[in-house]
Amino acid sequence: MPAKKGVKPVAQNRKARHEYFIEDTYECGLELVGTEVKSIRAGKANLKDCYVQVRGGQAYVIGLHISPYEQGNIFNRDPFRQRRLLLHKQEIRKLQSLSQADGYSLIPLQLYLKDGLVKMELAVAKGKKLYDKRHDLAERDIKRDMERHLKNVD
């Protein structure tokens, strides 16, 4: 069976862009077992409250919830288990040095299928303060009001 071409989003971390300033993004693969891939293809993944940690020369995603596959019976794994990210050594070293900088975190933004493979968009992010969040909300409200006004003028 040929692999499907293109990108199909499976799960997004919508709260990440509200909670963090996104500095840089990376694309990486995940080390998964068969039932987890089937569950992701069915759209049963959740990126809420997950993060990436680098230790021992490897990057792991922690807190990613992949629901057990319904027909998986004994082959299902723990939904919250730590999963290794597939990155090059130099990328892992760079991410480790960036994550150790003051206030920076490694946050998954999106989980998607690309040409039949499960990929994750990973962001190097800096946490926002409360006043930054208020400023973003105010900007979004102003932009929305301007668009409404322009729509009503036409």
d(CA 102, CA 16): 18
Residue 141 lies in a domain: no
- Structural domains in the chain (count): 1
Question: Which residue in this structure is represented by tokens 């299928």?
Answer: 113
CATH number at residue 54: 2.40.280.10
Residue 146 lies in a domain: no
The pTM of this model reads 0.77
In which band, very low, low, confident or very high, does the pLDDT at 62 lie, cut at 50, 70 and 90?
very high
The count of C-alpha atoms lying within 13 angstroms of the C-alpha of 63, restricted to the half-sphere facing its C-beta, is 11
Residue 137 lies in a domain: no
DSSP per-residue codes, 18-66: HHEEEEEEEEEEE---HHHHHHHHTT-EE-TT-EEEEETTEEEEES-EE
C-alpha distances (whole Å) from 148 to each of 17, 32, 139, 153, 154 are 24, 46, 14, 9, 10
Q: pLDDT of 104-127, one tens digit each?
A: 889 999 999 998 899 999 999 998
Which residue, among 70, 80, 96, has the nearest Cα to 47 in the 3D structure?
A: 80
Residue 33 lies in a domain: yes
Residue 143 lies in a domain: no
Residue 133 lies in a domain: no
Q: pLDDT of 71-102, one tens digit each?
A: 767 667 767 788 899 999 999 999 998 888 88
d(CA 49, CA 37): 21
The count of C-alpha atoms lying within 13 angstroms of the C-alpha of 98, restricted to the half-sphere facing its C-beta, is 21
